[in-house]
């Protein structure tokens, strides 16, 4: 794409996660033209990074990749990845977005995704797509089922040694690539900007990120994923197969002292799911979930929870007071049990924190859409039209309007697409 270019379409979808993809597909299937902009190197959002999904235990890829592929190949959908949204507003039936596409240092049209550059690159870089548990290279395909299958070079770790350029069969490496600014002119937009999770850092009671073998739930997803860093569950401090794994629920949610007073909504279910998957791969391990309330509210969720109990996963009601390093890489959890045994300390080989969920994108300074006091995008008719924002022509779907599991995000994405379609119809498309 040329710098300064303007693209026109019927609908802009901000965010290529599961909600954005579903909205885009539901609009495009009605013959509206759609542009998706995605901040990451690949579409797929959080969902494509997961192992399996509750309550069906389908592999997450099996559900996400077909939607990614159908969006990527849809005649009415254009996808731009690695983009920063600089400005977005709607007025008089026109939605205008200013976007900067960051340089990948790889020509997207020339790259054929052969990974020769990645194999040739001598620099090992912590792979954030694998929870940091192993390395990728300074130039790489982001992950195995990324779309687009186009390499990207991280200039922070690049020595400019030229090896990638030499091996590239199509001459796609471009060390001089510059950011490209472009404008999208649409008639409506759907904000599907998703969520992010708080980090362990800054939580002294949970070890501030300094206790070995205390990991986040997204890291556990990688350990359980088919293409995970170890292809099995090992504890990251020394590669030991864990005998005892604990989940700490509400580690950052429902807690004003953590800055997140609300419920993060899907942590109970993914912890139960991870526990189930662990008990499948490590049948002899003790698996304990420390919780306040189990919120298994969706279709089939309660039955899923009861199955987990029947499988021998232990549910301990109690608030975890603190987490400390114990001997030999073990993790000591101190908690107050509500069964009357009082304050108890228990050691585990691996501890997973169900951290808080917060909005991944703030419209502040970019888009005049309002947010609630929870910082998620505010909706103006929360009961009968939950996807309407306070800006005409701008709609919201998925976790951008509050934590939401995949099922609810997909449903809401369809609803946002319907409202956006009708807005387009009213404009006289």
Partner 1 sequence: MTDPKEKTEKAESGKSEKIGVYICYCGGNISDHVDVEKVRDEAEKMPGVAVARTNSFMCSDPGQELIIEDLKNGLIDRVVVASCAPSLHETTFRGAIARAGANPYIYDHANIREHVSWVLHGEKATFKAEKLVGAAVGKASLLQELDPIRVDARKHATVIGGGIAGLKAAKVLAERGIDVVLVEKSPYLGGNAARLDTIAPFGEKSAALISELAEDVLARDNITVMTHSKVIGFEGYVGNFDLTVQTTFADAADHEQAAGHYIPTVGVITESATEHIIETGAVILATGFKSYQPRHGEYGFGENSAVVTLPEFIKQMSEVDPSKTELEIGSRKIRSIAMIHCVGSRQIPGIHEEDEDGYLNEYCSRTCCSAILHAANQVKEIFPDTNVYDFYRDIRTYGRGQEELYDQAANNRVVFLRYSAEDSPVVTANDDGSDAPLKVTVKDGLTFNEEVEVAVDLVVLATGMEAASIPELVSMMKLPVGTDKFLQEIHPKLAPVEMAVSGVFLAGTAQAPMTIAEACNGAAAAAVKTASLLSKGHVELDPYVAEVDQNLCQGGGACIEACLADGALEMQDVKTAEGTVKKARVVPALCLGCGACAAVCPSRAIDLKGWSLKQYEAMVDMIVAED
Partner 2 sequence: MSDESKKEAMKQLRAERKSSIQKAAATVKQQKKELKLLKEHLTGDGATAPEIAEAIGINVSQVIWYLATLKQYGEVVEGTKDGCYFKYQLVETDSAEAA
Using CB under 8 A, which residues numbered 129 to 168 contact partner 2? 130, 133-136, 138, 155-160
Smallest gap, in angstroms, from Cβ of residue 84 to partner 1?
24
The one among 283, 299, 327, 428 contacting partner 1 by CB under 8 A: 299
SS3 351: strand
95 binds, among partner 1, partner 2, none (CB under 5 to 8 A by kind): none
Nearer to partner 1, 63 or 320 (CB): 63
Out of 134, 167, 385, 427, the residue judged to bind partner 1 by CB under 8 A: 385
Candidates 117, 197, 251, 263: give the one binding partner 1 (CB under 8 A). Answer: 263
Tracing tokens 């490590």 back to the chain, one arrives at: 282
327, interface contact from partner 1, partner 2, none, CB < 5-8 Å by kind = none
Q: Nearer to partner 1 by C-beta: 86 or 227?
A: 227
Q: CB-wise, 219 or 378, nearer to partner 1?
A: 378
Quickly list DSSP for 122-154: --EEE-GGGTTSSEEESEE-SSTT-SS---EE-
For residue 178, the minimal CB distance to partner 2 (Å) is: 12
> By CB under 8 A, how many residues form the interface with partner 2?
31
Name which position in 8, 87, 91, 119 contacts partner 2 (CB under 8 A).
Answer: 119
Residue among 33, 61, 136, 217 that touches partner 1 (CB under 8 A):
61
The two beta strands, 180-186 and 94-101, are antiparallel
Q: Look at residues 145, 143, 157 and name the one whose alpha carbon lies nearest to residue 229.
A: 143
Smaller CB distance to partner 1: residue 326 or 420? 420
- Residue 328 to residue 285: CA distance in whole angstroms: 18
Candidates 415, 409, 414; CA nearest to 193 is 409
Q: Are 216 and 41 in contact (CB under 8 A)?
A: no
What three-state secondary structure class fits 306? helix
Q: Which of residues 194-213 bind partner 2 (CB under 8 A)?
A: 212
**43 touches 16 (CB < 8 A):** yes
Binding site partner of 230, from partner 1, partner 2, none, Cβ cut-off 5-8 A by kind: partner 2
Q: Of the two residues 134 and 385, which places its CB atom closer to partner 1 in the complex? A: 385
Query: Based on CB atoms, which residue is closest to partner 2, 138 or 288?
Result: 138
**Angle 119-125-127 from CA coordinates, rounded to 5°:** 95
Positions 15 through 44 that interact with partner 1 (CB under 8 A): 26, 29-31
| One of 239, 342, 365, 428 touching partner 2 (CB under 8 A) | 239
Nearest C-alpha neighbor of 130 from the set 144, 148, 149, 111: 144
Q: Which two tokens stand for residue 429?
A: 């498309």
Residue pair 41/141 in contact (Cβ under 8 Å)? The answer is no
Considering only residues 16, 17, 45, 55, which one is a binding residue for partner 1 as defined by CB under 8 A?
55
> Which residues in 180-210 are b (16+ Cβ under 10 Å) and which e?
bbbebebbbbbbbbbbbbbebeebeebbeee
Contacts to partner 1 from residues 216-245, by CB under 8 A: 225-227
344 binds partner 1 (CB under 8 A): no
Pure H helices in 282-387: 301-310
Interface with partner 2 (CB under 8 A), residue from 7, 65, 177, 230: 230
Residue ranges that bind partner 2, judged by CB under 8 A: 119, 122-124, 130, 133-136, 138, 155-160, 175-176, 212, 229-232, 234, 236-241, 243
């Amino acid at each position: 794409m040329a710098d300064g270019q303007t693209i026109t379409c019927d609908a802009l979808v901000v965010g290529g996660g599961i909600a954005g993809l579903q909205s885009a597909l539901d609009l495009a299937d009605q013959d509206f033209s759609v542009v998706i902009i995605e901040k990451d190197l690949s579409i797929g959002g959080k969902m494509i990074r997961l192992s399996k999904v509750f309550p069906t235990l389908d592999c997450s890829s099996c559900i996400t990749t077909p939607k990614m592929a159908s969006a990527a190949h849809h005649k009415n959908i254009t996808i731009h990845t690695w983009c920063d949204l600089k400005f977005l507003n709607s007025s008089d039936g026109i939605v205008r977005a200013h976007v900067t596409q960051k340089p990948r240092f790889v020509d997207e049209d020339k790259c054929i995704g052969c990974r020769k550059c990645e194999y040739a690159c001598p620099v090992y870089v912590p792979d954030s797509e694998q929870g940091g548990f192993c390395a990728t290279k300074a130039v790489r395909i982001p992950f195995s089922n990324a779309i687009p299958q186009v390499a990207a070079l991280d200039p922070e770790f690049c020595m400019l040694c030229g090896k990638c350029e030499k091996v590239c069969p199509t001459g796609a490496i471009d060390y001089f690539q510059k950011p490209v600014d472009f404008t999208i002119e649409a008639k409506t937009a759907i904000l599907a900007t998703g969520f992010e999770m708080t980090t362990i850092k800054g939580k002294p009671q949970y070890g501030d990120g300094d206790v070995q073998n205390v990991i986040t739930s997204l890291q556990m997803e990688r350990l359980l994923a088919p293409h995970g860093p170890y292809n099995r569950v090992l504890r990251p401090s020394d590669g030991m197969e864990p005998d005892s794994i604990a989940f700490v629920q509400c580690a950052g949610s429902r807690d004003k002292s953590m800055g997140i007073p609300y419920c993060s909504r899907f942590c109970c279910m993914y912890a139960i799911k991870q526990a189930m998957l662990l008990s499948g791969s490590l049948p002899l391990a003790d698996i304990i979930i420390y919780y306040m309330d189990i919120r298994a509210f969706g279709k089939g969720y309660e039955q899923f929870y009861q199955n987990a109990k029947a499988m021998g996963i232990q549910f301990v009601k109690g608030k975890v007071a603190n987490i400390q390093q114990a001997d030999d890489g073990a993790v000591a959890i101190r908690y107050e049990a509500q069964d009357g045994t009082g304050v108890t300390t228990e050691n585990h080989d691996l501890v997973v924190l169900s951290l808080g969920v917060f909005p991944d994108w703030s419209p502040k300074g970019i888009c005049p859409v309002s947010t609630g006091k929870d910082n998620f995008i505010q909706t103006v008719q929360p009961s009968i039209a939950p996807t309407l924002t306070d800006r005409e022509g701008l709609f919201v779907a998925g976790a951008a309007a509050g934590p939401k599991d995949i099922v609810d995000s997909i449903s809401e994405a369809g609803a946002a697409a319907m409202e956006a379609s009708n807005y387009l119809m009213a404009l006289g498309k």
